[in-house]
Structures are given as C-alpha cells and as structure tokens.
Amino acid sequence: MKTLRHFLFAACALIALTCAAGDPDPIISSIDDAYQHAKELTKKNKSLGNEMVTTLNYTVRGQGKTTETLHFFYNTAEGTYLLDDDGDPHFFYYPLYLVTRKYNIGKKKYYEEYLFDSQSQRLLFVSTQDYDQNGKRFDRRFYIKDGSVYKIIGPAMAPFMEDNVIYMADDLLHAFDWIIRNPKE
C-alpha cells in the first residue's frame, strides 16, 4: 500500500510539473522564429550588399573616447518604388529588419540587436548586453508586442528603461531611413 501511495504521489508531482511547464508562449515563439530567420538573412545579405555600416566616434564626458558601430540589414527585393514627374522610378523604401549596435563606454563594451518586422517596420525584439553594479556582464531580451514591452528575460529594470529601449529602436529606424534617402550628406 505504501508503494502505491508513493507511486501516486510521484505521478501527481510529475503531472503538476508538466502542467506548470505548459505550452510555449506563441508570441515569443513567433518572435524567436523571426529572429532566427533574420540571422540567416544577414549571412545571405553579406554577399548581396543589403547592409549598411555606420561608425561614429565621439567622447562621453568623464569616460573618454567612444566608437559606435551601427550595422543595418535591409531587404532591397521587398522595397517599393515611387515615380517622379517624368515617370522615372526612384527607390523609396528599404525594409529594415535587423540593426546591430556595438559601442564602448570607457573600457566596457556593449552590444545590442534590434529586430523589426520587414513588412510593418514595427519593433519585435531587442537583445542587449549590459553590466551590473559589480561590473559583471549579462544579457537581457525584450519581446515587443504592439509597440510595448511584452516580456523581458533577464534582470529586472526600472520601467522607464523599458520605454528607453523602444525609443532607441525608433531612433535607429529613423536614422536608417534618413541615411538611406540622403547618402551624399
């Protein structure tokens, strides 16, 4: 009888753990799939030239010189064209799908990735590498749904910092749009 009780207890515990694990979140799964697809496209696009790299050099007060490299990956095949008055087509829109940002502040090195939906240009995902108070490096992932942070995987942060991630992604999207339309400036 004791053996049967132990067996039933173990079976109930196993069922409880299985139910607690549950099904994977479909929103996160679809974003993870889009991220994997984007990473595969970046490898293909390196040979197609569908990328743009911009390097910025500046000084951060009290920290010293900083070099920031922005790497924009876009798809020219899905772009749209506008006709000018003479009917001559001009490329108007390049769908951006991934931006990587690498920079240093002092001796600390940072890396970020921003994933956009190439159709809607809405932010889907952000991955960051940062440092805690003890100088230990950690990763944080932001899953975005409908323009807001849906889920964060990694250490907790202040709510205003969540908005900062979305604000930075928006700035990168606008910077890409401005640079790609004004290449000679």
Is the pLDDT assigned to residue 64 strictly greater than 70?
A: yes
The pLDDT of residue 6 is 42
pLDDT band at residue 181 under the 50/70/90 scheme: low
The pLDDT of residue 3 is 55
Mean pLDDT of the chain: 80
Is the pLDDT assigned to residue 122 strictly greater than 80?
A: yes
The pLDDT of residue 144 is 96
Contacts of residue 111, defined as CB under 8 A and 6 or more positions apart, other chains included, come to 100, 101, 102, 128, 129
Is the pLDDT assigned to residue 49 strictly greater than 80?
A: no
pLDDT digits (tens, 9 = 90+) for 85-108: 555 555 556 788 999 999 998 888
pLDDT band at residue 184 under the 50/70/90 scheme: low
The pLDDT of residue 2 is 53
Q: Please, which residues bridge with residue 112 across strands?
A: 101, 128
Contacts of residue 90, defined as CB under 8 A and 6 or more positions apart, other chains included, come to 81, 82, 83, 84
The pLDDT of residue 28 is 95
Distance from CA of residue 13 to its chain's centroid?
Answer: 38
Q: Which of 48-52, 57-61, 95-99, 155-159 has the lowest mean pLDDT?
A: 48-52
